[in-house]
Chains A and B, each alone.
Chain A
């Protein structure tokens, strides 16, 4: 009777206009049987948290290529928490310097993927986080 699906929000916060990576990931998650809600470009953290709430997603993934991740990631985490969605797992893709990774993980980011990461790895990690 019950038909459970992993729902994922894929978002593009900030001002960079390149969403090919986000679309590749969205497509890969779709092919892995997940339901992916795609927000489109230039979302602010409030819009992303709002969409995550309305869609009741279990996972939020966002892509940042502009270097603004240290500003945007904590804000998104804070808003998710404020909305009562502490249990949502957050993944980041894009250009993230190695030295920022430990701090992002500490904040509560579940997975970070740079150029060359395989979609299989992302799918595996998302499924693992849902267990």
Chain B
């Protein structure tokens, strides 16, 4: 049987091997992906991101356990950890927190090194997700590298993005900065048994309040004033804030309920299709950019390229001029 045939039949070894092919971007992998693509588009993709040490892996572990217990769905987990910028090597340690999931044939965990990608996921994470989707995994959880403030690529990939915070990581100013908090469909405050959880919750809620005004009555200098929400045509999704203690499994029911509500919202509002469109659009753009770059490199002598770099280093020409010259005088 063909590789793709066995994957559609549920052969796990074939699946694992294709994941490797796709990760290495081999010709065989590309061909198999092309065959499988028509079978994708069914899974619910959940992104989990947040700073290192906030408990992403433990939370993913609990969430997968919850779905196995309550929904009997096939679950795939793609866990991304960083590659060394110097050697290209990596230690992928997310499985350590997911040992509860072993022995269950309906859960498939795959670790992935970021391989130089800076957006929090790897360049080929989207391909791996597509393969799992085609192989019939109904829920696919994508865990990013420990993300700082601007690693937001996962939001382009996932239907539902969960940002994990923990008490004591920052003040209100951190919470109003642009970046990672903006991509949250659901905000989780993990380690909610730690001191300082009230402050974290207040800061996050007030940030959400700035972004999504809701109708309420406030007291200002002793006067009661009614503040109305701006009128909208379609119901807007207001990110929920959920407190969890992943190591003890606390708050997971609430988190799962919030995820279910988000799915319902996506389907009702048409956002499910909109996100699909945006995801595939941006994937195509990235692939096109890579292909153009490859083609350009093939058609240029390496000496010419090195010569141009030398010219820039010696301050003879600027990087802009170098690029213009490489493109035969055409400005980009």
Residues on A lying within 8 angstroms of B by beta carbon are: 1-5, 7, 26-27, 29-40, 43, 46-47, 50-51, 53-56, 83-85
Contact = CB atoms under 8 A, between A and B. Distances in A.
A54 B16 contact: yes
A95 B95 CA distance: 25
A126 B91 CA distance: 16
Contact of A31 (B12, B89, B92): B89
B150 interface: no
B20 interface: yes
Nearest to B123: A3
A54 B89 contact: no
B258 to A, nearest CB: 28
Contact of A40 (B23, B96, B109, B294): B96
Interface residues of B, number: 32
Interface SS of chain A: helix, strand, loop or mixed? mixed
Nearest to B109: A54
20 contacts: A3-B23, A3-B24, A4-B24, A5-B115, A27-B91, A30-B89, A31-B87, A33-B84, A33-B88, A37-B92, A37-B93, A37-B95, A38-B91, A38-B96, A40-B97, A47-B99, A53-B13, A54-B108, A55-B111, A84-B13
Given A3-B24, A56-B17, A46 B90 contact: no
Interface of B: 12-13, 16-17, 19-20, 23-26, 83-84, 87-93, 95-97, 99, 102-103, 108-111, 113, 115, 294
Contacts of B110: 54-55
